[in-house]
A and B are shown apart, each in its own frame.
Chain A
Amino acid sequence: MNKKYSAGIDIGSTCAKTIVLDKDGKVVYKDLRPTGYSSVDTAESIRHTIEEAFGKDSFHTVATGYGRISVPFADNKVTEISCHAKGAVRLFDKNDINVIDIGGQDTKLIVIENGVVSEFLMNDKCSAGTGRFLEVMANTLSVSPEELCAMAEKGNETRISSLCTVFAESEVINLIGKGTPREDIAYAVIDSIVEKVKTQSGKLRMNNGPLCLTGGLCDYGYVVKMLSKAFNKDVMTKPDARYAGAMGAALYAASQM
């Protein structure tokens, strides 16, 4: 085929990520934008942008993420599990790894052996332990998620017992009412996310490879630190880790060309 590029579009619940690779597999374009109300419109605007930059009909495209069905122009769809795995293998340059992906709406745990998925778990029935949980709690404390992380760093050990976002929110409101320092509450919020992920991981057999964090929380150093503590193992991440899904999709696109 004479398509020059492969594009991966990951339509998540909060952010849409795009990666374009050239024929040599080099990243030539990267894009992150809010998914907004309409994933169809977002997908269209992404198409517009990359076509402007690289020309019409020059892509083989794979869509992934919960909004993958909203990308009618994609040549193929692959689930976010497979894409995150493939993307993480490339980003972290290792074939045996364990991936924790904390997304806006769900948390995924993926065990990868010899570069392919051997087991996975996905929590998306409730927003506990996800980016959404962090957002809701930050809102309740009237701070941004970044500020919440910074505050948590200075907080004392405090716990929220409830795993459900709605109940946890009322617990936080209770704590505020009792005059608990905001730093302590922030600590409890992050602690609850980390605990939830840790508990879930008990259901699968992780391998000895590194533990890597992908998804929207990879920028939050404090979350990485607390995850490392909970898993008793250094959690690796990089700024580009939030593109893992899009990267994997682009790699799938390349392999299908």
Chain B
Amino acid sequence: MPAVATQGLEHQAERAKSRQGFLLGLPAIVYLLVFFVIPLGIVIAYSFATRTRSGRTELNDWNVEAYRRLGEDVVRAVAFRSLWIAVLTTVVCLVLAYPLAYFISTRSPAVRNMMLVGVMIPFWSNFLIRTYAWRVLLDSDGLFTQMVSAVGLGDGRILFTSNAVILGLVYGYLPFMVLPLYASIERIDWSLVEGARDLYASGWMAFRRVVWPLSRPGVIAGSILVFVPSFGAFVTPAILGGNKKGLMGSYIVDQFLDARNGPLGASLSVVVLGVMLVGTLIYFRQGGRTL
């Protein structure tokens, strides 16, 4: 029966294709396994382990002590401070990025591409180096400090404060807000705005009722892309915040290296990962699709 024969062939072809796909993916799969899945498993295992008096991590006595400690005041204070800084960073990024993204997406295509490249240029140099550059700018005789005091906005000494951390985070993550916003604003059909204007909407109302709701996927995507890394940020708080007040990232590092409390560090990591996971899930369900 020819039909059956064809079916068989189809099946074989499909199997061959999937085998081929697996082989092609193998290097990446091995990579992810070694550098992602196994370390992740270790972190999770650590979070249920016991810390011995000497600061070693004992893997044969499973318990949830490390999670119980998350409720302690010190830990909660760190978590809320991180949360607060991440929220502020996200809001500041949104306020700065929206007008910029709007401006870019209303330019001609050539100008648009140039400006998008401009937004991405910072990525061409190392994040660590750029953050150290901010430290120079924010120094008491740095350019930023001098400029702020020159225009009479206080003495401008913000290095090693939360403001410096937020400044650094906003600087670092602004492109992650601009790009998804641009993508969703650029996609809006401008005849809808004209339709709104024709139906007696002022420019502001047309924005509020048409442009803003239609750009919401970009707002959500950008907010998650900024919020998630800000919440777990380590480098920026370490360099610009001076670690005077612990944030999640540095607190976790402290647990592993200084306090020698592996299980607590691990359970905190699991919490941060959980927040990121939830953020990513929302991102894919809401905004990610439109990117």
A binds B: no
B residues contacting A by CB (< 8 A) are none
A residues contacting B by CB (< 8 A) are none
